[in-house]
Each structure stands twice: as C-alpha cells, then as structure tokens.
Amino acid sequence: MHWRIERSSAPAAVSVPLLEALDLVKDYRTGSEVRRALDGVSLSVGPGRFLSVMGPSGSGKSTLLHLLGGLDRPTGGEVMLRRRALSALSDRELTEYRRQVGFVFQSFNLVPVLTVAENVALPLVIDGRRRAEVDRRVRDTVAAVGLEEQADALPSRLSGGEQQRTAIARALVTEPAVLLADEPTGNLDSATGEQLLSVLKAAQRDREQAIVVVTHDPNVAAAGDEVLHLRDGAVTGRIDLGCGGDGSPPAQRLAAWLGDGAG
C-alpha cells in the first residue's frame, strides 16, 4: 500500500492521532504537601508511530505513561484514544480501554508463581480467548523476544533482561493498539537491547501499533519517529527524527540535540 511507504517520513501532524494527551496535569498529595508531577503535557501519537520520551529522573515520565495507560487519573487535562476522552468512559469502558493498551512496567510486575509462558498468556486467559489461540500467540510472542528456551521457567530463575523481555511479550501478546513501555531496555545488554528494538519496530511497522517508550538510552530513543524531552513535568523540547532533517542519521541528530540541551 502506498501510504505504508510514505508513513515513516510523514510529519506527525498529518497522521490521524490514535493516542493524545491534552494539557495533562498531575498532582500527588502526601499529607498536606502537593507535588506537581506533570504540568501541562500535550502529545499526539498516530498509528504506527513511535514516540520516545526522555528526561531526568523525577521529571514525570512514569507518571505520564501511567496516565496514558488509564492506570491513574489526571488532576487536569485529558487523555484521548481515537478522539474519545478517557474521563468520559464508564468503569467498564475504561477496562476495555486498558485492553487496547499494552503496558511494560519499569518493575516488570511478573507473577512469581507462573512460568514465562503462563505470564505471557495471562492477558489472553483473562480475556477468555480459546486455548488453541492462546497457545499459538504465546508461542509466537515468546519466540519473537527470544525466550523459547526459558518458556517453562519461573521469573525468579531469569536474568533481569529475560524478565524484562517476558514483560514485553506479555504486553505485546494481545496485539494492543498502543504499547507503552517504561525503560524497557534498562536491564538489557546491548545485543539484547537491539533484539528488543527490532521487536518494537516490527510491532510498529507490521501491526500499525502506536508505541510510547520512556528511555534514558539514546540508542533506543533514536528508534522513535519523534522524541519528547521532559523536565519538571513539562515538555522542554521535541525533535522529529522521521523528517529528513539535514540528512544525518537519527542517532546522530538526537545526540546533537541532547548535547545542546534538548531543544
């Protein structure tokens, strides 16, 4: 299809937004103290687009991802999926929303008494999918992240990188419209990180999934079409890596941008 070829170089503004954040504000209250973790963040991710979010520790990256995933409610502003506001959804619709979003947590959140394959199967089982479909999808997804050998192992027997890959397989197995990942390569050596990036890129390319990845790693961030930089809960810079630029490789342009203070 023609548009498939055009897509990666098209500016974000012309693609139909799948996931949007409009002026998101999040305050955390502890006792009498209020801490503003997000202070008016807006973004838009189209189908098949990959957005990277960078920024120092404490800048609000995880908070932003939780709000996008419908795991927490904003103090102000709005999250929209296909132009529908999350705040307008009933509890049942919100559950449905979360099914369309794959989430990779910074802390994996694997179930310790279930094997790798069982952890990956969990969202499908909860969804009530047929056994044959569950088995097939689990096999394919476990293979895609390179964990066939560990399929029957418990998480406690895995390395950090293998646990992380299990978490990513579990997020991808339902083929969600949106994949949100918090530091997905934080514990991976660079070869495994490369493999994971290729899994994410395949999800983006072959299934038109929208991907939002929080990362400290410029190599991971450079795989995105666009990079947002957060500081103190606000977007302090954006760079579009998909749009030609001066013709230098995305990783190089990103490095120069970060070196200049990110916007």
Ligand X SMILES: Nc1ncnc2c1ncn2[C@@H]1O[C@H](COP(=O)(O)OP(=O)(O)O)[C@@H](O)[C@H]1O
- Give the count of beta carbons closer than 10 Å to the beta carbon of residue 180: 28
Nearer to ligand X, 26 or 253 (CB): 26
Residues 38-67 within binding reach of ligand X (CB under 6 A): 55, 57-63
User: Do 167 and 104 meet the contact criterion of CB atoms below 8 Å apart?
Assistant: yes
- Tokens 């609000």 belong to which residue? 60
Q: How far apart are CA 237 and CA 245, in angstroms?
A: 16
Query: 68 to 127, contacts with ligand X by CB under 6 A?
Result: none
Whole-angstrom distance, CA of residue 160 vs CA of residue 68: 25
Looking at residues 186 to 245 of the shown chain, list those that interact with Mg ion (rule: CB under 5 A).
none
Distance CA 149, CA 154 (A): 12
In angstroms, give the least distance from the CB of 180 to ligand X. 13
* HEC readout, 198-244: HHHHHHHHHHCCEEEEECCCHHHHCCCCEEEEEECCEEEEEEECCCC
The minimum distance between CB 237 and ligand X, in angstroms, equals: 15
**Number of residues in contact with ligand X under rule CB under 6 A:** 12
Q: Which stretch binds ligand X (CB under 6 A): 30-38, 115-123, 133-141, 154-162?
A: 30-38
- Do 79 and 21 meet the contact criterion of CB atoms below 8 Å apart? yes
Query: How near is the Cβ of 254 to ligand X at its closest, in Å?
Result: 18
Closest separation in Å from C-beta 56 to ligand X: 7
In the complex with Mg ion, the residue whose CB is nearer, 71 or 256, is: 71
Q: Are 230 and 212 in contact (CB under 8 A)?
A: no
Q: Is 28 in the site for ligand X (CB under 6 A)?
A: yes
Count of positions (residues) in the chain: 263
* Least distance between ligand X and beta carbon 35 (Å): 5
Residue 63 interacts with which of ligand X, Mg ion, none, CB < 5 to 8 Å by class: ligand X
Q: Which string of x and - marks every residue 44-63 that binds Mg ion (by CB under 5 A)?
A: -----------------xx-
Footprint of Mg ion on this chain (CB under 5 A)? Answer: 61-62
Q: Which residues bind ligand X (CB under 6 A)?
A: 28, 30, 35, 37, 55, 57-63
